[in-house]
Protein backbone atom coordinates (compact mmCIF):
# COMPACT_ATOMS: atom_id res chain seq x y z
CA UNK A 1 0.00 0.00 0.00
CA UNK A 2 1.18 3.52 -0.74
CA UNK A 3 -0.29 6.61 0.96
CA UNK A 4 0.14 8.61 -2.26
CA UNK A 5 -1.74 6.10 -4.38
CA UNK A 6 -4.41 5.58 -1.71
CA UNK A 7 -5.00 9.34 -1.49
CA UNK A 8 -5.16 9.66 -5.28
CA UNK A 9 -7.60 6.75 -5.52
CA UNK A 10 -9.85 8.16 -2.79
CA UNK A 11 -9.77 11.56 -4.51
CA UNK A 12 -10.52 10.01 -7.87
CA UNK A 13 -13.61 8.18 -6.54
CA UNK A 14 -14.90 11.33 -4.81
CA UNK A 15 -14.30 13.32 -8.00
CA UNK A 16 -16.34 10.78 -9.96
CA UNK A 17 -19.13 11.17 -7.42
CA UNK A 18 -18.93 14.97 -7.58
CA UNK A 19 -19.36 14.99 -11.36
CA UNK A 20 -22.59 13.02 -10.90
CA UNK A 21 -24.68 15.82 -9.41
CA UNK A 22 -27.95 13.94 -9.49
CA UNK A 23 -26.51 11.11 -7.42
CA UNK A 24 -25.21 13.62 -4.89
CA UNK A 25 -28.64 15.25 -4.74
CA UNK A 26 -30.32 11.88 -4.23
CA UNK A 27 -27.85 10.96 -1.49
CA UNK A 28 -28.77 14.14 0.37
CA UNK A 29 -32.51 14.36 -0.25
CA UNK A 30 -33.79 10.78 -0.10
CA UNK A 31 -33.05 10.06 3.59
CA UNK A 32 -34.70 13.34 4.58
CA UNK A 33 -37.79 12.49 2.51
CA UNK A 34 -38.01 9.03 4.04
CA UNK A 35 -37.72 10.46 7.53
CA UNK A 36 -40.56 12.84 6.68
CA UNK A 37 -42.63 9.86 5.56
CA UNK A 38 -41.90 7.98 8.78
CA UNK A 39 -42.77 11.06 10.79
CA UNK A 40 -46.22 11.34 9.20
CA UNK A 41 -46.78 7.58 9.43
CA UNK A 42 -46.38 7.53 13.20
CA UNK A 43 -47.84 11.00 13.88
CA UNK A 44 -51.02 9.67 15.49
CA UNK A 45 -49.63 6.50 17.05
CA UNK A 46 -49.84 6.50 20.84
CA UNK A 47 -46.55 6.13 22.67
CA UNK A 48 -46.55 3.34 25.26
CA UNK A 49 -45.67 4.74 28.69
CA UNK A 50 -42.03 4.48 29.60
CA UNK A 51 -40.92 3.59 26.06
CA UNK A 52 -39.54 5.72 23.23
CA UNK A 53 -42.09 6.84 20.66
CA UNK A 54 -42.45 4.76 17.49
CA UNK A 55 -40.92 7.57 15.46
CA UNK A 56 -37.88 7.70 17.73
CA UNK A 57 -37.44 3.95 17.48
CA UNK A 58 -37.80 3.71 13.72
CA UNK A 59 -36.02 6.93 12.75
CA UNK A 60 -32.99 6.02 14.85
CA UNK A 61 -32.61 2.66 13.13
CA UNK A 62 -33.28 4.24 9.73
CA UNK A 63 -30.46 6.75 10.28
CA UNK A 64 -28.05 3.86 10.73
CA UNK A 65 -29.41 1.46 8.15
CA UNK A 66 -29.91 3.85 5.26
CA UNK A 67 -26.20 4.57 4.64
CA UNK A 68 -25.54 0.82 4.77
CA UNK A 69 -28.09 0.07 2.05
CA UNK A 70 -27.18 2.98 -0.21
CA UNK A 71 -23.43 2.53 0.03
CA UNK A 72 -23.80 -1.19 -0.63
CA UNK A 73 -25.68 -0.44 -3.85
CA UNK A 74 -23.45 2.43 -4.98
CA UNK A 75 -20.29 0.43 -4.35
CA UNK A 76 -21.45 -2.74 -6.07
CA UNK A 77 -22.30 -0.78 -9.20
CA UNK A 78 -19.10 1.33 -9.09
CA UNK A 79 -16.91 -1.74 -8.64
CA UNK A 80 -18.79 -3.66 -11.31
CA UNK A 81 -18.11 -0.77 -13.68
CA UNK A 82 -14.40 -0.99 -12.84
CA UNK A 83 -14.51 -4.67 -13.68
CA UNK A 84 -16.50 -4.41 -16.92
CA UNK A 85 -14.99 -1.21 -18.35
CA UNK A 86 -11.45 -2.56 -18.22
CA UNK A 87 -10.25 0.07 -15.76
CA UNK A 88 -9.72 -2.61 -13.10
CA UNK A 89 -7.57 -4.69 -15.44
CA UNK A 90 -5.58 -1.61 -16.29
CA UNK A 91 -5.22 -0.57 -12.65
CA UNK A 92 -3.87 -4.01 -11.82
CA UNK A 93 -1.06 -3.55 -14.38
CA UNK A 94 0.06 -0.41 -12.50
CA UNK A 95 1.85 -0.15 -9.14
CA UNK A 96 -1.55 0.28 -7.44
CA UNK A 97 -2.02 -2.31 -4.69
CA UNK A 98 -5.30 -4.14 -4.21
CA UNK A 99 -5.69 -2.62 -0.77
CA UNK A 100 -5.14 0.88 -2.20
CA UNK A 101 -8.23 0.33 -4.32
CA UNK A 102 -10.38 -1.30 -1.63
CA UNK A 103 -9.46 1.21 1.08
CA UNK A 104 -9.90 4.02 -1.45
CA UNK A 105 -13.50 2.95 -1.95
CA UNK A 106 -14.02 2.49 1.78
CA UNK A 107 -12.69 5.95 2.62
CA UNK A 108 -14.34 7.80 -0.28
CA UNK A 109 -17.79 6.36 0.26
CA UNK A 110 -17.31 6.53 4.03
CA UNK A 111 -16.79 10.29 3.64
CA UNK A 112 -19.87 10.54 1.41
CA UNK A 113 -21.86 8.54 3.96
CA UNK A 114 -20.69 10.81 6.79
CA UNK A 115 -22.09 13.79 4.91
CA UNK A 116 -25.32 11.96 4.19
CA UNK A 117 -25.74 10.79 7.79
CA UNK A 118 -25.00 14.25 9.18
CA UNK A 119 -27.68 15.85 7.03
CA UNK A 120 -30.21 13.11 7.75
CA UNK A 121 -29.48 13.34 11.49
CA UNK A 122 -29.87 17.14 11.40
CA UNK A 123 -33.30 16.72 9.82
CA UNK A 124 -34.32 14.00 12.28
CA UNK A 125 -33.20 15.88 15.40
CA UNK A 126 -34.07 19.45 14.49
CA UNK A 127 -37.05 19.16 12.17
CA UNK A 128 -38.81 16.13 13.63
CA UNK A 129 -37.60 16.35 17.21
CA UNK A 130 -35.92 12.96 17.39
CA UNK A 131 -34.74 12.38 20.93
CA UNK A 132 -32.03 9.95 21.99
CA UNK A 133 -30.53 9.58 25.43
CA UNK A 134 -27.02 9.39 23.91
CA UNK A 135 -25.27 11.86 21.66
CA UNK A 136 -26.17 12.45 18.02
CA UNK A 137 -22.47 12.29 17.12
CA UNK A 138 -22.46 8.63 18.16
CA UNK A 139 -25.48 7.99 15.92
CA UNK A 140 -23.63 9.54 12.98
CA UNK A 141 -20.47 7.62 13.85
CA UNK A 142 -22.35 4.30 13.87
CA UNK A 143 -24.02 5.27 10.58
CA UNK A 144 -20.59 5.80 9.00
CA UNK A 145 -19.31 2.43 10.25
CA UNK A 146 -22.46 0.86 8.77
CA UNK A 147 -21.83 2.63 5.48
CA UNK A 148 -18.29 1.25 5.37
CA UNK A 149 -19.76 -2.20 6.04
CA UNK A 150 -22.03 -1.63 3.03
CA UNK A 151 -19.01 -0.60 0.93
CA UNK A 152 -17.01 -3.66 1.96
CA UNK A 153 -19.88 -6.05 1.22
CA UNK A 154 -20.53 -4.27 -2.07
CA UNK A 155 -16.88 -4.64 -3.12
CA UNK A 156 -17.09 -8.35 -2.36
CA UNK A 157 -20.49 -9.01 -3.96
CA UNK A 158 -19.61 -7.18 -7.19
CA UNK A 159 -17.28 -10.08 -7.99
CA UNK A 160 -20.29 -12.35 -8.40
CA UNK A 161 -22.21 -10.14 -10.79
CA UNK A 162 -21.50 -9.87 -14.49
CA UNK A 163 -24.09 -7.20 -15.23
CA UNK A 164 -25.64 -4.30 -13.38
CA UNK A 165 -28.98 -6.14 -13.43
CA UNK A 166 -27.37 -8.91 -11.44
CA UNK A 167 -25.55 -6.52 -9.14
CA UNK A 168 -28.69 -4.72 -7.96
CA UNK A 169 -30.31 -8.07 -7.16
CA UNK A 170 -27.69 -8.71 -4.54
CA UNK A 171 -29.22 -5.86 -2.59
CA UNK A 172 -32.34 -7.81 -1.49
CA UNK A 173 -30.20 -10.90 -0.88
CA UNK A 174 -27.67 -9.12 1.34
CA UNK A 175 -29.76 -6.37 2.88
CA UNK A 176 -33.35 -7.51 3.41
CA UNK A 177 -32.70 -10.61 5.57
CA UNK A 178 -30.42 -8.50 7.76
CA UNK A 179 -33.08 -5.82 8.02
CA UNK A 180 -35.86 -8.31 8.87
CA UNK A 181 -33.82 -10.08 11.52
CA UNK A 182 -32.07 -7.09 13.09
CA UNK A 183 -34.67 -6.65 15.83
CA UNK A 184 -36.52 -3.71 14.33
CA UNK A 185 -39.68 -5.67 13.45
CA UNK A 186 -39.59 -8.43 16.06
CA UNK A 187 -37.38 -8.15 19.13
CA UNK A 188 -34.54 -10.60 18.77
CA UNK A 189 -35.26 -12.45 22.02
CA UNK A 190 -38.84 -13.06 20.86
CA UNK A 191 -37.73 -14.86 17.68
CA UNK A 192 -37.53 -18.62 17.24
CA UNK A 193 -34.19 -20.01 18.42
CA UNK A 194 -32.80 -20.70 14.97
CA UNK A 195 -33.77 -17.25 13.72
CA UNK A 196 -32.04 -15.75 16.74
CA UNK A 197 -28.93 -17.73 15.82
CA UNK A 198 -29.05 -16.41 12.26
CA UNK A 199 -29.61 -12.91 13.58
CA UNK A 200 -26.51 -13.19 15.76
CA UNK A 201 -24.46 -14.11 12.70
CA UNK A 202 -25.51 -11.01 10.74
CA UNK A 203 -23.51 -7.80 11.24
CA UNK A 204 -26.46 -5.43 10.84
CA UNK A 205 -28.05 -6.87 14.02
CA UNK A 206 -25.09 -5.52 15.99
CA UNK A 207 -25.24 -2.17 14.22
CA UNK A 208 -28.91 -1.77 15.13
CA UNK A 209 -28.29 -2.88 18.71
CA UNK A 210 -25.53 -0.27 18.99
CA UNK A 211 -27.96 2.42 17.79
CA UNK A 212 -30.58 1.28 20.29
CA UNK A 213 -27.97 1.49 23.04
CA UNK A 214 -27.31 5.11 22.09
CA UNK A 215 -31.07 5.71 22.06
CA UNK A 216 -31.50 4.37 25.60
CA UNK A 217 -28.34 5.40 27.44
CA UNK A 218 -26.81 8.82 27.96
CA UNK A 219 -23.24 7.48 27.89
CA UNK A 220 -21.69 4.97 25.48
CA UNK A 221 -22.20 1.49 26.91
CA UNK A 222 -19.93 -1.54 26.82
CA UNK A 223 -22.52 -3.31 24.68
CA UNK A 224 -22.37 -0.47 22.16
CA UNK A 225 -18.57 -0.66 21.88
CA UNK A 226 -18.68 -4.44 21.58
CA UNK A 227 -21.33 -4.15 18.84
CA UNK A 228 -19.25 -1.59 16.95
CA UNK A 229 -16.25 -3.89 17.28
CA UNK A 230 -18.26 -6.74 15.75
CA UNK A 231 -19.34 -4.53 12.82
CA UNK A 232 -15.74 -3.36 12.31
CA UNK A 233 -14.63 -7.00 12.33
CA UNK A 234 -17.23 -7.78 9.66
CA UNK A 235 -15.84 -4.89 7.59
CA UNK A 236 -12.32 -6.33 7.77
CA UNK A 237 -13.57 -9.81 6.89
CA UNK A 238 -15.54 -8.51 3.89
CA UNK A 239 -12.50 -6.51 2.69
CA UNK A 240 -10.26 -9.56 2.93
CA UNK A 241 -12.79 -11.56 0.93
CA UNK A 242 -13.05 -8.72 -1.60
CA UNK A 243 -9.26 -8.59 -1.94
CA UNK A 244 -9.31 -12.31 -2.73
CA UNK A 245 -11.65 -11.62 -5.68
CA UNK A 246 -9.24 -9.12 -7.24
CA UNK A 247 -6.96 -11.29 -9.32
CA UNK A 248 -4.20 -9.73 -11.34
CA UNK A 249 -4.33 -12.62 -13.77
CA UNK A 250 -7.49 -13.93 -15.34
CA UNK A 251 -8.48 -16.28 -18.15
CA UNK B 1 20.28 -9.15 -29.14
CA UNK B 2 18.72 -7.38 -26.20
CA UNK B 3 15.03 -8.11 -26.28
CA UNK B 4 12.31 -6.17 -24.52
CA UNK B 5 9.93 -9.10 -24.83
CA UNK B 6 10.82 -12.75 -25.27
CA UNK B 7 7.96 -15.20 -25.61
CA UNK B 8 8.78 -18.89 -25.58
CA UNK B 9 6.35 -21.62 -26.60
CA UNK B 10 3.38 -19.80 -25.10
CA UNK B 11 0.15 -21.76 -24.83
CA UNK B 12 -3.01 -20.01 -23.61
CA UNK B 13 -6.44 -21.51 -23.18
CA UNK B 14 -9.56 -19.51 -22.53
CA UNK B 15 -12.31 -21.77 -21.33
CA UNK B 16 -11.86 -24.97 -23.30
CA UNK B 17 -10.58 -23.21 -26.38
CA UNK B 18 -6.88 -23.00 -27.12
CA UNK B 19 -6.21 -19.41 -28.16
CA UNK B 20 -2.43 -19.46 -28.54
CA UNK B 21 -0.73 -22.62 -29.76
CA UNK B 22 2.89 -22.47 -28.67
CA UNK B 23 3.84 -18.96 -29.81
CA UNK B 24 7.48 -17.94 -29.67
CA UNK B 25 8.72 -14.52 -30.67
CA UNK B 26 10.94 -11.69 -29.54
CA UNK B 27 10.56 -7.94 -29.65
CA UNK B 28 13.78 -5.89 -29.86
CA UNK B 29 14.19 -2.85 -27.63
CA UNK B 30 13.71 0.63 -29.00
CA UNK B 31 11.52 -0.42 -31.89
CA UNK B 32 7.92 -0.28 -33.00
CA UNK B 33 6.71 -3.83 -33.49
CA UNK B 34 3.35 -4.39 -35.10
CA UNK B 35 1.20 -7.30 -34.01
CA UNK B 36 -1.10 -7.95 -36.91
CA UNK B 37 -3.80 -10.41 -37.63
CA UNK B 38 -7.53 -10.71 -38.16
CA UNK B 39 -9.80 -10.19 -35.20
CA UNK B 40 -10.03 -13.27 -33.04
CA UNK B 41 -6.52 -14.37 -33.99
CA UNK B 42 -5.12 -14.05 -30.47
CA UNK B 43 -3.55 -10.56 -30.58
CA UNK B 44 -5.21 -9.32 -27.43
CA UNK B 45 -4.47 -12.56 -25.60
CA UNK B 46 -0.79 -12.31 -26.49
CA UNK B 47 -0.70 -8.69 -25.31
CA UNK B 48 -2.45 -9.58 -22.06
CA UNK B 49 0.17 -12.28 -21.52
CA UNK B 50 2.91 -9.70 -22.07
CA UNK B 51 1.49 -7.29 -19.49
CA UNK B 52 0.92 -10.21 -17.13
CA UNK B 53 -2.84 -10.24 -16.72
CA UNK B 54 -3.46 -13.39 -18.74
CA UNK B 55 -3.47 -16.81 -17.13
CA UNK B 56 -1.17 -18.95 -19.25
CA UNK B 57 -1.24 -22.70 -19.69
CA UNK B 58 2.45 -23.20 -20.46
CA UNK B 59 5.46 -21.47 -21.90
CA UNK B 60 7.18 -18.34 -20.71
CA UNK B 61 6.98 -14.60 -21.30
CA UNK B 62 9.98 -12.50 -20.29
CA UNK B 63 9.54 -8.73 -20.26
CA UNK B 64 12.53 -6.40 -19.75
CA UNK B 65 14.41 -9.33 -18.27
CA UNK B 66 11.73 -10.25 -15.73
CA UNK B 67 8.85 -12.74 -15.88
CA UNK B 68 5.76 -10.97 -17.26
CA UNK B 69 3.54 -9.57 -14.52
CA UNK B 70 6.39 -9.21 -11.99
CA UNK B 71 5.67 -6.45 -9.48
CA UNK B 72 8.80 -4.53 -10.51
CA UNK B 73 7.47 -4.28 -14.08
CA UNK B 74 4.28 -2.42 -13.11
CA UNK B 75 5.97 0.95 -13.28
CA UNK B 76 7.93 0.06 -16.43
CA UNK B 77 5.14 -1.19 -18.69
CA UNK B 78 2.23 0.84 -20.08
CA UNK B 79 -0.87 -0.93 -21.35
CA UNK B 80 -3.67 0.33 -23.53
CA UNK B 81 -6.62 -2.06 -23.58
CA UNK B 82 -8.66 -2.40 -26.73
CA UNK B 83 -11.82 -0.87 -25.28
CA UNK B 84 -10.94 2.56 -23.84
CA UNK B 85 -10.42 1.90 -20.13
CA UNK B 86 -10.75 5.35 -18.63
CA UNK B 87 -13.33 6.75 -16.25
CA UNK B 88 -16.21 8.17 -18.28
CA UNK B 89 -17.33 10.31 -15.32
CA UNK B 90 -13.99 12.11 -15.01
CA UNK B 91 -12.48 14.70 -17.31
CA UNK B 92 -9.58 13.80 -19.60
CA UNK B 93 -7.22 15.74 -17.35
CA UNK B 94 -8.49 14.07 -14.17
CA UNK B 95 -8.01 10.66 -15.74
CA UNK B 96 -4.49 11.45 -16.87
CA UNK B 97 -3.56 12.92 -13.49
CA UNK B 98 -4.86 9.86 -11.65
CA UNK B 99 -2.87 7.44 -13.81
CA UNK B 100 0.13 9.76 -13.52
CA UNK B 101 0.08 9.48 -9.72
CA UNK B 102 -0.17 5.67 -9.96
CA UNK B 103 3.07 5.77 -11.97
CA UNK B 104 4.73 8.21 -9.59
CA UNK B 105 4.42 11.19 -11.96
CA UNK B 106 2.95 14.64 -11.48
CA UNK B 107 0.54 17.05 -13.07
CA UNK B 108 3.02 18.35 -15.64
CA UNK B 109 3.56 14.87 -17.08
CA UNK B 110 -0.20 14.29 -17.13
CA UNK B 111 -0.87 17.51 -19.03
CA UNK B 112 1.91 16.69 -21.48
CA UNK B 113 0.49 13.22 -22.15
CA UNK B 114 -2.92 14.77 -22.84
CA UNK B 115 -1.36 17.26 -25.25
CA UNK B 116 0.68 14.49 -26.93
CA UNK B 117 -2.48 12.68 -28.01
CA UNK B 118 -4.01 15.92 -29.31
CA UNK B 119 -6.57 16.38 -26.55
CA UNK B 120 -5.25 19.58 -24.98
CA UNK B 121 -8.39 21.44 -26.00
CA UNK B 122 -10.70 18.77 -24.61
CA UNK B 123 -8.74 18.29 -21.38
CA UNK B 124 -11.51 19.73 -19.23
CA UNK B 125 -14.26 17.67 -20.84
CA UNK B 126 -15.82 14.59 -19.26
CA UNK B 127 -14.61 11.47 -21.09
CA UNK B 128 -18.22 10.30 -21.35
CA UNK B 129 -19.03 13.25 -23.60
CA UNK B 130 -16.17 12.62 -26.04
CA UNK B 131 -16.38 10.92 -29.43
CA UNK B 132 -15.16 7.34 -29.69
CA UNK B 133 -11.86 8.35 -31.24
CA UNK B 134 -11.21 11.01 -28.61
CA UNK B 135 -12.09 8.58 -25.87
CA UNK B 136 -9.54 6.05 -27.06
CA UNK B 137 -6.93 8.81 -27.25
CA UNK B 138 -7.75 9.75 -23.65
CA UNK B 139 -7.11 6.13 -22.78
CA UNK B 140 -3.84 6.26 -24.75
CA UNK B 141 -2.72 9.33 -22.79
CA UNK B 142 -3.16 7.33 -19.59
CA UNK B 143 -0.95 4.55 -20.99
CA UNK B 144 1.81 6.97 -22.04
CA UNK B 145 1.76 9.14 -18.93
CA UNK B 146 4.24 7.12 -16.89
CA UNK B 147 6.84 7.24 -19.68
CA UNK B 148 7.18 3.45 -19.46
CA UNK B 149 10.05 1.55 -21.08
CA UNK B 150 7.63 -0.82 -22.80
CA UNK B 151 4.29 0.31 -24.16
CA UNK B 152 1.74 -2.30 -25.19
CA UNK B 153 -1.02 -0.77 -27.30
CA UNK B 154 -4.05 -2.79 -28.34
CA UNK B 155 -5.47 -1.19 -31.49
CA UNK B 156 -4.64 2.41 -30.56
CA UNK B 157 -5.61 3.94 -33.90
CA UNK B 158 -9.11 2.51 -34.35
CA UNK B 159 -11.62 5.25 -35.11
CA UNK B 160 -8.99 7.96 -35.63
CA UNK B 161 -8.99 10.13 -38.72
CA UNK B 162 -6.04 9.72 -41.13
CA UNK B 163 -4.24 12.88 -40.00
CA UNK B 164 -4.42 11.88 -36.34
CA UNK B 165 -3.34 8.36 -37.20
CA UNK B 166 -0.25 9.71 -38.95
CA UNK B 167 0.43 11.94 -35.91
CA UNK B 168 0.11 9.02 -33.52
CA UNK B 169 2.46 6.85 -35.56
CA UNK B 170 4.98 9.70 -35.70
CA UNK B 171 4.66 9.91 -31.91
CA UNK B 172 5.26 6.15 -31.56
CA UNK B 173 8.43 6.39 -33.66
CA UNK B 174 9.63 9.40 -31.69
CA UNK B 175 9.21 7.36 -28.51
CA UNK B 176 11.06 4.41 -30.07
CA UNK B 177 13.90 6.76 -31.05
CA UNK B 178 14.37 7.56 -27.35
CA UNK B 179 14.72 3.86 -26.56
CA UNK B 180 11.11 3.01 -25.71
CA UNK B 181 9.81 -0.30 -27.01
CA UNK B 182 6.33 -0.36 -28.50
CA UNK B 183 4.17 -3.35 -29.29
CA UNK B 184 1.20 -2.15 -31.29
CA UNK B 185 -1.63 -4.33 -32.50
CA UNK B 186 -3.77 -3.57 -35.50
CA UNK B 187 -5.97 -5.43 -37.90
CA UNK B 188 -5.39 -2.83 -40.61
CA UNK B 189 -2.63 -3.89 -42.95
CA UNK B 190 -1.73 -0.39 -44.11
CA UNK B 191 -0.46 0.24 -40.60
CA UNK B 192 1.90 -2.70 -40.88
CA UNK B 193 4.14 -0.74 -43.23
CA UNK B 194 4.72 1.82 -40.49
CA UNK B 195 6.27 -0.73 -38.14
CA UNK B 196 9.97 -1.57 -37.74
CA UNK B 197 9.06 -5.21 -37.30
CA UNK B 198 5.97 -7.30 -37.79
CA UNK B 199 4.47 -10.21 -35.97
CA UNK B 200 1.72 -11.76 -38.07
CA UNK B 201 -0.61 -13.97 -36.14
CA UNK B 202 -3.48 -16.11 -37.32
CA UNK B 203 -5.64 -18.54 -35.38
CA UNK B 204 -3.26 -18.43 -32.47
CA UNK B 205 -0.16 -19.23 -34.49
CA UNK B 206 2.62 -16.91 -35.52
CA UNK B 207 3.03 -16.96 -39.29
CA UNK B 208 5.65 -14.23 -39.65
CA UNK B 209 8.15 -12.47 -37.43
CA UNK B 210 10.24 -10.09 -39.52
CA UNK B 211 10.65 -6.61 -40.98
CA UNK B 212 7.93 -5.41 -43.39
CA UNK B 213 10.43 -5.51 -46.27
CA UNK B 214 11.45 -9.06 -45.49
CA UNK B 215 7.81 -10.13 -45.29
CA UNK B 216 7.18 -8.59 -48.70
CA UNK B 217 10.29 -10.24 -50.11
CA UNK B 218 9.37 -13.59 -48.66
CA UNK B 219 5.93 -13.45 -50.20
CA UNK B 220 7.21 -11.96 -53.45
CA UNK B 221 4.73 -9.05 -53.52
CA UNK B 222 4.88 -5.37 -52.65
CA UNK B 223 1.52 -5.12 -50.99
CA UNK B 224 1.58 -6.27 -47.35
CA UNK B 225 -2.06 -7.26 -47.46
CA UNK B 226 -1.35 -9.53 -50.38
CA UNK B 227 1.83 -10.76 -48.73
CA UNK B 228 -0.12 -11.71 -45.62
CA UNK B 229 -2.64 -13.62 -47.74
CA UNK B 230 0.09 -15.54 -49.52
CA UNK B 231 1.77 -16.43 -46.26
CA UNK B 232 -1.51 -17.75 -44.92
CA UNK B 233 -2.10 -19.80 -48.07
CA UNK B 234 1.43 -21.14 -47.95
CA UNK B 235 0.65 -22.09 -44.34
CA UNK B 236 4.21 -21.41 -43.48
CA UNK B 237 6.38 -19.24 -41.39
CA UNK B 238 9.02 -16.74 -42.31
CA UNK B 239 11.95 -15.06 -40.88
CA UNK B 240 13.57 -15.05 -37.54
CA UNK B 241 14.38 -12.51 -34.98
CA UNK B 242 17.56 -11.58 -36.77
CA UNK B 243 15.93 -9.51 -39.43
CA UNK B 244 16.66 -11.54 -42.55
CA UNK B 245 13.94 -13.33 -44.40
CA UNK B 246 13.75 -17.05 -44.87
CA UNK B 247 11.53 -18.30 -47.65
CA UNK B 248 8.14 -19.55 -46.50
CA UNK B 249 8.26 -23.17 -45.57
CA UNK B 250 5.26 -25.16 -46.60
CA UNK B 251 5.45 -28.11 -44.30
CA UNK B 252 5.29 -26.76 -40.81
CA UNK B 253 3.89 -28.99 -38.14
CA UNK B 254 0.99 -27.51 -36.21
CA UNK B 255 2.27 -26.44 -32.84
CA UNK B 256 5.61 -25.51 -34.30
CA UNK B 257 4.24 -22.53 -36.14
CA UNK B 258 6.30 -20.14 -34.13
CA UNK B 259 9.06 -19.76 -36.65
CA UNK B 260 12.43 -18.20 -36.09
CA UNK B 261 13.99 -21.19 -34.42
CA UNK B 262 15.35 -23.02 -37.43
Here the ipTM equals: 0.88
8 Å CB contact of B103 and A8 = no
Predicted local confidence at residue A47, as pLDDT: 79
Asked if the model's pLDDT at residue B241 lies above 90, the reply is no
Give the Cα separation of B79 and B91 in Å (integer): 20
Q: Which residues of A touch B126 (CB under 8 A)?
A: 19
How sure is the predictor about B182, in pLDDT bands with cuts at 50, 70 and 90? very high
Asked if the model's pLDDT at residue B236 lies above 60, the reply is no
Q: Which residues lie closer than 8 Å to A201 by C-beta, 6 or more apart?
A: none
Asked if the model's pLDDT at residue B144 lies above 90, the reply is yes
| CB contacts < 8 A (A, B) | 78
Predicted local confidence at residue B244, as pLDDT: 37
Burial of B29 (0-12, 13-18, 19+ CB in 10 A): middle
Predicted local confidence at residue B133, as pLDDT: 87
Per DSSP, the three-state class of A250 is strand
Q: How many CA atoms within 13 Å lie on the side-chain side of A11?
A: 13
How sure is the predictor about A226, in pLDDT bands with cuts at 50, 70 and 90? very high
How far does A24 lie from chain B, in Å, by closest CA? 13
Q: Which residues of A touch B87 (CB under 8 A)?
A: 12, 16, 85, 87
Predicted local confidence at residue B160, as pLDDT: 85
Predicted local confidence at residue B250, as pLDDT: 38
Predicted local confidence at residue B235, as pLDDT: 66
pTM over 0.80: yes
Asked if the model's pLDDT at residue A174 lies above 50, the reply is yes
8 Å CB contact of B15 and A251 = yes
Q: Which residues of B touch A19 (CB under 8 A)?
A: 89-91, 126
> CA of A1: which chain B residue's CA is closest?
B102
Query: Mean pLDDT over all residues of chain A?
Result: 91
Predicted local confidence at residue B251, as pLDDT: 37
Predicted local confidence at residue A248, as pLDDT: 85
How sure is the predictor about B1, in pLDDT bands with cuts at 50, 70 and 90? low
Partner residues linked to B3 by β-bridges:
B28
Lowest-confidence pick of A183-187, A215-219, B241-245: B241-245
**Parallel, antiparallel, or unpaired for β B150-154 and B181-186?**
parallel
A130-141 b/e (C-beta count within 10 Å ≥ 16 → b): bebebebebbbb
Lowest-confidence pick of A15-24, A148-157, B19-28, B253-262: B253-262
Predicted local confidence at residue B196, as pLDDT: 93
How far does A95 lie from chain B, in Å, by closest CA? 5
> CA of B153: which chain A residue's CA is closest?
A90
In this structure, the dihedral spanned by the alpha carbons of residues B138, A94, A167 and A172, taken in order and rounded to 10 degrees, is -130
Q: Identify the residue with better confidence: A136 or B251.
A: A136
Q: Which residues of B touch A85 (CB under 8 A)?
A: 83, 85, 87-88
Asked if the model's pLDDT at residue A104 lies above 80, the reply is yes
8 Å CB contact of B85 and A85 = yes
> CA of A8: which chain B residue's CA is closest?
B98
Q: How many CA atoms within 13 Å lie on the side-chain side of B220?
A: 4
Pick the residue of A3, A12, A96 with the most B CBs within 10 A to test the interface with B by mutation: A12
8 Å CB contact of B102 and A250 = no
Region B148-156 average pLDDT: 93
CA gyration radius, chain A: 19
Region A135-157 average pLDDT: 93
Region B35-64 average pLDDT: 92
8 Å CB contact of B90 and A12 = yes
Which residue from A12, A96, A249 is facing B54, i.e. has the nearest CB? A249
For B117-135, what is each residue's pLDDT tens digit? 999 999 999 999 999 889 9
**Planar angle of CA B199, B200, B202, nearest 5 degrees:** 140
Pick the residue of B86, B98, B156 with the most A CBs within 10 A to test the interface with A by mutation: B98
Q: Which residues of B touch A95 (CB under 8 A)?
A: 71, 74-75, 102-104
Asked if the model's pLDDT at residue B262 lies above 90, the reply is no
For B242-260, what is each residue's pLDDT tens digit? 333 333 333 333 333 333 3
Q: Which residues of B touch A15 (CB under 8 A)?
A: 90, 94
Which residue from B54, B79, B87 is facing A16, i.e. has the nearest CB? B87
For A43-96, what is each residue's pLDDT tens digit? 888 877 777 888 898 899 999 888 999 999 999 999 999 998 889 999 999 999
Predicted local confidence at residue A228, as pLDDT: 95
Amino acid sequence: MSPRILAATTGRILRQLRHDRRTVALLVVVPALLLTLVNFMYADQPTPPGRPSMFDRVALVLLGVFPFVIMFLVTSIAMLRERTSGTLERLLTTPLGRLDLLFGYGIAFGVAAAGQAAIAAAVAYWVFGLSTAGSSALVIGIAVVNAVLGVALGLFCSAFARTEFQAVQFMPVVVIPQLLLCGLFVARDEMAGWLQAVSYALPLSYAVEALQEVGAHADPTGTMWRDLGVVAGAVVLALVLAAATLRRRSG
Amino acid sequence: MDHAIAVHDLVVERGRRRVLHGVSCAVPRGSVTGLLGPSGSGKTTLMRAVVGVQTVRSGSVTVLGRPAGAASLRSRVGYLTQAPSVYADLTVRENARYFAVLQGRGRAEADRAVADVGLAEAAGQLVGTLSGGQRSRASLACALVGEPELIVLDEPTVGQDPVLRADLWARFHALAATGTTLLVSSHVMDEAARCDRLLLIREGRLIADDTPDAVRAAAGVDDLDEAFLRLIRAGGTVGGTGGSADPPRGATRPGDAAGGRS
